[in-house]
Structure 1
């Protein structure tokens, strides 16, 4: 085992231990919680190493990289049992490159994008290229930062019925990002996402808002304490220079 693989394995054990501790503090277990290893800044060989160390879910933010990495792993027979999600902003002209590859799209931040994904998915279902609608999360700008993408909570309330009627997508939950560098603000942001999901859940079919995607390398423990079911970890997984505090 080389030095980098040893780092990945040891770091994963530390991350899992921290996850478990955070979940215990919130009275939860690891069941239903998914660690997404954000592989957008690493090469295919690093993803291979991560798979050998136990990671099974990866996140990409560029459709071409999603296709390239999945293709390389499929060619070498290493894609079985491995899932890729699409994170980050998705442009409407890149939707077709994601459908059929990403198991979950984390960042539907507007009804315009939701319609675009639904329309393309529906056409591919009708042609037999896709078996089921695309699973998506709705991105919400809970913190209200002008630099953050996504629905405002008020916009989501106004437009959610329209989104829920789109036949080419299935809404599985919500996603948000917290401002960096302030744990209290991050906690309020994640708690706000959970409260919004709880509020919406009573008006829609069971399971619609079961997933909460929030928490990254700097704040995943706080996110888990506040109810996150999907944490997106990049630097803490892959970068030996990133120190867990």
Structure 2
């Protein structure tokens, strides 16, 4: 967690990034309390897709210490603006979008973590680059296995029944540190049935990811002891994710407002 003081809604205008961040933090705290958890058990990742470097810096000034980028192009473009904070350990930058093998070098040069690992082939390619660059031991890349808990073809991630085996294999690779699991939940508006049933569908997906995490931790396999993170829940469903054990929630629109279709980085 960041050592920066956390603003409250009363301290900032609701129309500013700082004000919206305060509201999101209050939502996290309220959801954690309702689930019998401490707010500091849930970390906020601010998703910066389509945002300008200036908007990202505004979020950092409000105490954000973890951001996530969906596109490698944007990750690289914004890297110079946040490089100093990354270098001194004040900021972590996660890749939260699909990664192609030909973009591995760019991600390794700018990101501190990858949340979207979904194949052993990709994991081995990243491991090879990390070893080549002497990025092992304490300098290993933090990675999460992305799991498609909804079965939707539009979503990336490995099938749930194959996730534990992939995670165990990834944990044994040099240059990679398995820190947990990530998923994108079912859309509340797309789930069939009344609102209560829709929420149950979303929660069931999150619960399945938690079960996979717990299975891997209980296995005692080499390198799996650090796989404690559950990155799940976004602007519309973060309360449901926290109720099911999320340790990281990924929020973009609730912090920056509606996304724009184009941006000047």
TM range (shorter): 0.7 to 0.9
Unaligned segments of structure 1, at least 5 residues: none
Q: 97-106 vs 167-176, which deviates more?
A: 97-106
2: CA distance, partners of 1:13 / 1:219? 17
Match of 2:140 among 119, 126, 133: 133
Unaligned segments of structure 2, at least 5 residues: 1-11, 189-197, 260-265
The alignment's C-alpha RMSD in Å is: 2.3
Task: Indicate conservation of the 8 Å contact 2:41/2:247, yes or no.
Answer: yes
Task: Please identify runs of 4+ aligned residues in structure 1 that moved more than 3 A.
Answer: 3-6, 77-80, 157-161
Question: Could you say which residue in structure 1 is the equivalent of 2:186?
Answer: 179
Match of 1:97 among 89, 106, 111: 106
**TM-score normalised by the chain length of structure 2:** 0.81
1:1-245 pair list within 5 angstroms: 6-74=15-83, 80=88, 81-125=90-134, 132-181=139-188, 182-204=198-220, 207-239=225-257
**1:58-85 per-position Cα deviation (integer Å, ceiling 9, x unaligned):** 11122232122121234xx565522211
Report the CA distance between 1:217 and its aligned residue. 1.0
Task: Indicate conservation of the 8 Å contact 2:184/2:233, yes or no.
Answer: yes
2: CA distance, partners of 1:104 / 1:123? 18
**1:46-65 per-position Cα deviation (integer Å, ceiling 9, x unaligned):** 11111122222111122232
2: CA distance, partners of 1:186 / 1:174? 16
Task: Indicate conservation of the 8 Å contact 1:197/1:209, yes or no.
Answer: yes
Total equivalences in the alignment: 235
Report the CA distance between 1:5 and its aligned residue. 8.7
Task: Indicate conservation of the 8 Å contact 1:134/1:169, yes or no.
Answer: yes
**TM-score normalised by the chain length of structure 1:** 0.87
**1:170-209 per-position Cα deviation (integer Å, ceiling 9, x unaligned):** 1110111112123221111111111111122111356332
Question: Could you say which residue in structure 1 is the equivalent of 2:263?
Answer: none
